[in-house]
Amino acid sequence: MEALLGRRQKVELKPVNCLGRYVVTKHNQWRGKYRRVLCITTSAILTQNPEQQFAITNTYAFVGDSDIESITLGPGNDEEGEFVITARQDKKSKFKPNRFTCRYRSRLLTDLYQALTAAATIGACSIAQKIVGLSDTFPALTWAEGAWVVISIRLSSRGIEVVAPSTGSSSWRIDFTQLATTAFAPLQSESSSATAAALSVLDGGVSTSFHPSLSGAASSSLAASYSTASMSPSRMPINHHHHHPTHPAAAA
């Protein structure tokens, strides 16, 4: 009826359950390079054409029978980093690589990994472990309100979490993309030969440490896992040089 009356209908720019939107460049062997808006929802990756009222051009579901086979990183960094989504157009199609570049690749992949992990938590995303990888959890203590509190440190492909061992719920989390600088420092107890470990966020975050009674092997294992998580370009959407507190690349 509104169309018959000549009224302009509202154009919905954001898909339902949109978690993040980024301006990307798609690289096609035949069509060349062109702009798209990549949207991450709770169940899929969508692309929109900004030149056609943000019409949805592709939808790649990652819940249920996933349309996404893999996500890999190419060359570049956050100035114009490349990533490849190997996916299919529909359930009858073959999986094909789709090459993109994005100025804020780290932030985009962090949001995507978070969506995949959340879907996997409720048993809806079987592909998450293949793409995101496993997390490593270590027992630890933190000093709170004048006493040592038992916690766990969880290192994942997105960042660092402090979780309650009894419930598994997260009480504090920081993404690697939010860190201007990070550090892992081994500590030595003055009264014991046992080695402890401290994981510190140097830009004013939380400092979490192992109790000195834990073995040096546990400390070394945490250090190795942290180093792998924060530095591996094949797994991590890590941003070593710049801190982006907001989503400057997200479409309005």
The strand pair at 136-144 and 32-41 is best described as unpaired
**Nearest partner of 87 among 70, 109, 65, judged by Cα:** 70
Compute how many other C-beta atoms are within 10 angstroms of the C-beta atom of residue 143.
11
* Residue position matching structure tokens 């080695």: 195
H-state helical runs in 101-243: 105-121, 128-132, 216-231
The tens place of each residue's pLDDT in the chain, 252 residues long, gives 444 444 454 556 788 899 999 999 999 988 899 999 999 999 999 999 999 999 999 999 999 999 999 999 888 766 678 999 999 998 899 999 999 999 989 899 999 999 999 999 899 999 999 999 888 888 888 777 888 888 888 888 888 888 888 887 888 888 877 765 555 655 555 555 545 555 555 444 545 454 433 445 566 666 667 666 655 433 444 443 333 333 333 333
CATH architecture designation of domain 18-131: Roll (2.30)
Domain boundaries, the chain: 18-131, 134-231
Tell me the CATH number of domain 134-231, given options 2.40.110.10, 2.30.29.30, 3.90.1150.10, 3.30.70.20: 2.30.29.30
Task: Tell me the C-alpha distance between 24 and 79, whole Å.
Answer: 12
Global confidence as pTM: 0.73
